[in-house]
Structure 1
């Protein structure tokens, strides 16, 4: 066995992706000391029965209500005592032992407290996700057709990144964090049900070291999030945005 590593996934009605996600993770962490935890936000589909049937080695915690993304991960973070902890979305897929690669990089670079790899679509194209702190022009004005360049600045899409580079924010869909530092900042801020919780966590982690994006490593992400598809989603997004700006103004 190599490193002591834990990982957490928060699920909510993810029966369509969760089996392939977990199978890809377990298949590519066999050569390291890794334990996967899943917190379920009271799914109403077959997410939990499927997980229990196919993956008895995964530690599953069933919530009594939907407490959101960050709070779900916090239920696991408070339980683990590892050296490194991976935060994983239920629609992430591995094709290599990227977790072990990331841990080895962080062991060689003790100044790094959070590491995120390149995130790819299933067809191999790059998902350009935020690497700077969110602000009004990046989040709101970039939605306007003539101001889309703000989004490219926000995600550093126009910056040539062929080597590991310090960033201001790591995507919430997948990263590896030093567990000791994650516990120091008490995990995710419970005020964020969903959206902006990853940017908030990154800002607090930066007080303890560097956040790094590593383009030499990658995972695959089925990115279907669209907060404009429902009024409920829009309201959650806007509330989180206001909370974030009030906290960090």
Structure 2
């Protein structure tokens, strides 16, 4: 498999334009739904370790296990908070959401506190107070309360959605899976085209924010793994790319 297109408008040509312009793309990697040690997690961490590229794991607090804590020892993986239980509380007819839905805001925040306390106790300094909403959805009334709860960043998907009044948004931008009809590989050409278009828009618009790669290790098929085995090191090796640890993207504050 090759991920480098021949046409001059390809992703790699766009990254060359960034380099020629003296611009640097801060790129980071988020992987969702971790809770236990699995063969899929082993594969993800092996990929991360092979190229010494940090990955931020969005961990489900209610189901996180001591085995996961042990498995992460000796790795560069960071831990973020993935809601509380990854449970759907959508209103009748609404899209799946845990960070909002049919419950009072205070009930949602109470779960957040439980989750944050549990992750901090399990993972210590590896844990960062960043909320990653399950399904990448969080209602504004909940998001606006995050700073008061001690969260220093919010990580959803796509362009920033909230602005002032919520924590800094460090979103993911490229999901390697498509979800309609069941999780499966999105396809190399689609992913390269999507990233190229996003980077061209940023370069032309003077937009400067981190770009997030999003994976879901528990849902990867062999095509997804094969793509990542080529794509990740190619991205990291490009002179326009600076692969970032998530901690470097979070505003300073007290993690306690």
TM-score (norm 1): 0.30
TM-score (norm 2): 0.30
Say which structure is richer in helix: 2
Q: Which has more radius of gyration?
A: 2
Say which structure is richer in strand: 1
The structure showing larger relative contact order (alpha-carbon pairs under 8 Å, at least 6 residues apart) is: 2
